[in-house]
Structure 1
Amino acid sequence: MATNIRDVAKAAGVSVATVSKVLNGYTTVNANTKEKVLALVKEMQFRPNQAARALVGRRSMTIGIFLTTGLAHPFFTKILGGMEQALKDKGYDLIYLAQLSRNKEYSFVRHCQSRNVEGVVVFGFQHDDMDFGELMESGIPTLFIDLDMQQGRAGFISSDNEEAIGKAVAYVAGLNHRKIAFLSGMRHSYTGRLRLDGYRAGLKKAGIPYRDDYVVDGDFTKEEGYRLMKELLANPDRPTAVVCGSDLEAIGAIEAIREAGLSVPEDISVVGFDDIEIAAHVSPPLTTVRQDMATIGRRAIELVDGLINDGTMPPPAEIVPTTLVVRESCAPAKEQ
């Protein structure tokens, strides 16, 4: 029995890309090669749903999505909105493949087989959450969002996180702030590491020394923003500006600042990240880094479609630019 597409390719003496083309019903494969591969697929009992689809010349026209965040999360809903038009344009249906536990024995491949999807989008995971090796070796076209996995038929898309935080730091430094803190939010994640690098680079460019006591680490929730800001406020040399890893963190930080009897932006300037809908409606309206989540969602589907339909397409690695949206939560620093 074959455990992955490489077993079939090795037995047939062809490339993984050729086996993928056969399984997806391409007509560009030599007839003898196709016959040999399909015979081995049956003999080795590899991916029965995919093999059956190739044999009868039908496609499921379905893309699956794995995610750990809830469907109601504002970041995900904007990405899903971007996916919708691309799905319509390409003729695909989308299947939500359930919020997964962090069970290391879980098989992405078996789940994909059971739902007969042609490709998958993976969102909300970190490197150490799951073993993605089986999925990337399976030949299933896969697109990771915010996770730099790139191998075979798998690639990724992400915002330019490092540049984004660098722009935020440059903005508040331009308002004469020298005590700039960073609510990093999961600094050991893929995006968290890049954002911390951007924070360091932004400080260096502005000629501001890095201070480890100005970097606090949690997650991207409002509750963590509140907790982490209280930690910063307890610093005897408290910061005058705070760059946050998400808008929700920023909103929690503003709540903690006000609870301490201080004002935003007069005492402390606050910058968010994401530009979710509520960012423009909080008081004061939040200056934030806008991720182009609609583009990320649209391109995720377009890239998966490319991997499905072109067996020679190299694994993508696409970085999407961000925009700094200036509102009212930042002001020039008082004398420091």
Structure 2
Amino acid sequence: MATNIRDVAKAAGVSVATVSKVLNGYTTVSQKTKERVLRIVKETRFQPNAAARALVGRRSMTLGIYLTTGLTHPFFASILSGMELALKAKGYDLIYLSQLTFNKDYSFVRHCQSRNVEGVVIFGFQEDDAYFKELLESGLPSIFIDMDIVGQRAGYISSDNVDAMCHSISYLRELKHRRIAFIAGIVESYVGRLRYDGYKKGLEIAGLPFREDYVAHSIFTRESGYSAMNSLLELPPAERPTAVVCCSDMCAIGAIDAIRDAGLSVPGDISVIGFDDIELARNVTPALTTIRQDMIAMGRKAVELLDELIVDEMFASPTAIVPTELIVRDTCAPAKEE
């Protein structure tokens, strides 16, 4: 039984560095050598630990994550759960990074380097942010969530937002709805823009007209969903939408609150569809019909793509679009006869 990496290198007839590259997933080792090293590892039942891999391979085996929304947001709690699965499988640790904006000499890239992270998962940088440009130019492996950013050492992962919205409109059309409104998110954002485009495309496919007064804006929160729904309820009763598609579950829950406070019912008077399928969606009354994002898969894939960027310098601009699923619960019903 091999007790350290040097025993494996000696048995395989290769250098310690070569064994380290094989164990860390580098693609610069020939397939023949890789197979020989892995055979020796199996035969000797060698089990490398993260510290040894980092020491010999000069790797920290540490990734960073930066979130503007905070770690407790329902969406990113699930993203982190998915990341955890891949982190364990690949032997990485994860640290939370924050912007130290109180320091006038602050550099996000230097901050990453001081924490010795090999790559970062990012959500929330604005493209006009100086830190964003610095990060892309630095060559530090980066994966962006819900931002269509590609670069020499950067890529992104997102749900299929357009298809999800089209699916929502199609479902409501099957229920005979013709007056379908949309509570949009921040349309300047990547997901906000795609969901807005998906709404318009879905209407077109369904043969329904697009109406500007059927679009109310929010910032993805319950409070903004409530306010947006109230603006739609100000339309004359004969013009009032019979269904509303929302940019997030929290917006949808706020919309349901507003509909109830107006003396109307869900889904009796107005059907509602959310987006995300956070845990609260199945626990509200009535249970929320929504678009499920596979947030576990997104988190896992983010780590896998970042690992590819780290171990293979030729692996450039990775992207992944994750399919969504319409989850039918209790907030949609056939439209009333007009």
Aligned residues: 291
Would you say the 8 A contact 2:203–2:209 is kept in 1?
yes
SS in 2 for 1:323: strand
Aligned to 2:192: 192
Q: Which amino acid aligns with 2:309?
A: L
Could you tell me which of 264, 273, 278 is aligned with 1:262? 264
Q: Deviations over 1:32-66 (max 9, x none)?
A: xxxxxxxxxxxxxxxxxxxxxx9985211100001
Aligned to 2:96: 96
Counterpart check, 1:233 vs 2:233: yes
Would you say the 8 A contact 1:25–1:57 is kept in 2?
no
Aligned to 1:312: 314
Q: CA RMSD in A?
A: 2.5
CA distance 1:102–1:255, shift in 2 (3 Å): farther
Would you say the 8 A contact 1:67–1:99 is kept in 2?
no
Would you say the 8 A contact 1:165–1:198 is kept in 2?
yes
1:221 and 1:99 mapped to 2: Cα distance? 23
CA distance 1:103–1:328, shift in 2 (3 Å): farther
% identity of equivalent residues? 66
Would you say the 8 A contact 1:126–1:147 is kept in 2?
no
Aligned to 1:135: 135
SS in 2 for 1:168: helix
Q: Which amino acid aligns with 1:278?
A: L
1:68 and 1:127 mapped to 2: Cα distance? 14
Counterpart check, 1:253 vs 2:265: no
Q: Which amino acid aligns with 1:331?
A: A
Aligned to 1:293: 295
Aligned to 2:336: 334
Aligned to 2:209: 209
Aligned to 1:12: none
Aligned to 1:74: 74
2:287 and 2:215 mapped to 1: Cα distance? 24
Whose Rg is larger?
A: 2
Deviation (angstroms), 1:108: 2.1
2:125 and 2:112 mapped to 1: Cα distance? 17
Deviation (angstroms), 1:238: 1.3
Deviation (angstroms), 1:138: 1.1
CA distance 1:101–1:110, shift in 2 (3 Å): same
2:287 and 2:168 mapped to 1: Cα distance? 16
Deviation (angstroms), 1:243: 0.2
Deviation (angstroms), 1:107: 2.6
SS in 1 for 2:97: strand
Counterpart check, 1:175 vs 2:175: yes
SS in 2 for 1:98: coil
Structure 1: unaligned runs, 5 residues or longer: 1-20, 30-53
1:107 and 1:159 mapped to 2: Cα distance? 30
Moved more, 57-66 or 81-90: 57-66
Q: Which amino acid aligns with 2:288?
A: L
2:213 and 2:27 mapped to 1: Cα distance? 61
1:223 and 1:138 mapped to 2: Cα distance? 39
CA distance 1:297–1:179, shift in 2 (3 Å): same
Q: Which amino acid aligns with 1:59?
A: R
Relative to the length of structure 1, the TM-score reads 0.81
Moved more, 254-263 or 91-100: 91-100
Aligned to 1:48: none
Q: Which amino acid aligns with 1:313?
A: F
Q: Which amino acid aligns with 1:318?
A: A
Q: Deviations over 1:145-165 (max 9, x none)?
A: 000110100000000011111
Aligned to 1:224: 224
2:256 and 2:27 mapped to 1: Cα distance? 59
Counterpart check, 1:112 vs 2:112: yes
SS in 2 for 1:140: coil
Would you say the 8 A contact 1:152–1:314 is kept in 2?
yes
Deviation (angstroms), 1:126: 3.8
